[in-house]
Chain A
Amino acid sequence: MESIWVLLLAACSSLLLWLWGRYRLRLTPSGLIRALALTLESLGWAVTFYAINLVLGVALTALVRATSGRFLSLYPTADPVLFLLSLLQALLFSWWRRQG
């Protein structure tokens, strides 16, 4: 039930946003499709950066273990905050690419 409620809220606000953009700001439907494509592209970058961050985390952990003989857990690398940071990296990079 909670899942449906959350989806319903997002659907309602999306509809309001669409109405506001379409009729108040006079934005075009084709522009919305391009925006969707750009959003997917940014999310693709987020996945890419997350993979890079994970590989880097595992490699650095292995390096510290091998060189210092000290045990370092891999669990901190799996912290979900790393995905949020990757998402920020992706947004920044996408906007940077658009600015040229």
Chain B
Amino acid sequence: MTRLLRGLGLLLLAGFGLLAFTPLPNYWHARTAVAPRLEPADAVVVLGAGVSRHGVLGSHSLRRAVEGVRLYHLGLAPRVLLMGPSRRGGPTEASVRARLARELGVPESALELEVRGATTRHEARLAWERLGGPGRRRVLLVTGSFHMRRAQALFRRAGFEAIPAPSADLDPDADQPLARLALSRGLIQEWLARTYYRAFGHL
């Protein structure tokens, strides 16, 4: 028992050292990241990432929303679908993002909101209900670089041709220990999520 515990402790220290003080997480991210392909599409779809109860967008949510607006202004798609539910009775993430998009010059007529998506799989299904159909399959998918592989697979499964337009949620070239740990956390979390989705046949 004691030897096992010491072994676990040593493993933890080694893992901490590798993830915080070596470029291992940067290589890992480079291997799993999906490169952006900015091409014309029928719509831009911006996946949810969280909003506070008081209507403050999380940093990932904000980055994704801004990326969606940028793609619209580049003329790559005529419409933007903003996603994201509310948290404990606060405003919905989609509505907060829509306000931001309007203030950044996106006309109301180009915006669509979806406030129900609780998981990536759910979001793919809801997006298909709103945007899918003959001749309306091509979407520019905006989500974090970690999340893109899983999201793209789910959107393809829902029927879309999902073109990746990842936003940089975290710095992939991080060289400070804490930033590398944050990068590692994102990678491990997404790896676990992919494993879970595969185990339950969602991917």
Q: Which of A's residues lie within 8 Å of B, judged by CB?
A: 1-3, 6-7, 37, 39-48, 71, 73, 75, 78, 80
Residues of B close to A71: CB separation below 8 A? 118-119
Q: How far is the CA of A75 from the CA of B50 in the complex (A)?
A: 11
Q: Secondary structure at chain B's binding surface: helix, strand, loop or mixed? A: helix
Q: Given the complex of chains A and B, what is the CA–CA distance between A80 and B183 in angstroms? A: 13
- Known pairs A2-B177, A45-B5, A47-B11. 8 more at Cβ < 8 A? A2-B175, A3-B21, A41-B6, A42-B9, A43-B10, A43-B13, A47-B9, A48-B5
Residue among B12, B13, B177, B192 facing the most chain A CB atoms (10 A cut-off): B12
Evaluate whether A73 and B118 lie within 8 angstroms (CB atoms) in the complex, with A3-B21, A6-B177 already known. yes
Produce 1/0 per residue, B155-197, CB < 8 A to A: 0000000000000000000011100100001000100100000
A72, B7: Cα distance in complex, Å: 35
Residue in chain B with minimal CB distance to A7:
B21
Tell me if A's interface is mostly helix, strand, loop or mixed.
helix
**Total interface residues in chain B, CB < 8 Å:** 22
Residues of B within 8 A of A1 (CB): 175
Complexed CA–CA distance, A40 and B180 (Å): 23
Known contacts A2-B177, A3-B176, A73-B118; A40/B9 CB under 8 A: yes
Are A47's CB and B6's CB within 8 A?
Answer: no
B4 interface hit (Cβ, 8 Å): yes
A43–B185 touching, CB < 8 Å: no
A-contact bits for B41-61, CB 8 A (1 contact / 0 none):
000000000000000000000
Q: Which of A40, A47, A78 has the most CB of B within 10 A?
A: A40
Which of A43, A73, A75 sits near B8, CB closer than 8 Å? A43
Give Cα distance in the complex from A1 to B174, angstroms. Answer: 11
Q: List 29 A-B contacts (CB under 8 A).
A: A1-B175, A2-B175, A2-B177, A3-B21, A6-B177, A7-B21, A39-B9, A40-B5, A40-B9, A40-B10, A41-B2, A41-B5, A41-B6, A42-B9, A43-B8, A43-B9, A43-B12, A43-B13, A44-B5, A44-B12, A45-B5, A46-B12, A47-B8, A47-B9, A48-B8, A71-B119, A73-B118, A75-B189, A78-B185
Residues of A contacting B2 in the complex (Cβ-Cβ under 8 angstroms)? 41
In the complex, the answer to whether B6 meets A3 with C-beta atoms within 8 Å is no
Smallest Cβ distance from B173 to chain A, in angstroms? Answer: 13
Within the complex, the shortest CB–CB distance from B6 to chain A, in Å, comes to: 4
Q: How far is the CB of B107 from chain A (nearest CB, A)?
A: 33
Q: A47-B11, A80-B185 are contacts. A37–B6 as well, Cβ < 8 Å?
A: yes
Whether B175 contacts A3 by the Cβ 8 Å rule is yes
Q: Does B20 contact A (CB under 8 A)?
A: yes
Q: Give B188 Cβ to nearest chain A Cβ, in Å.
A: 9
Residues of B within 8 A of A42 (CB): 9
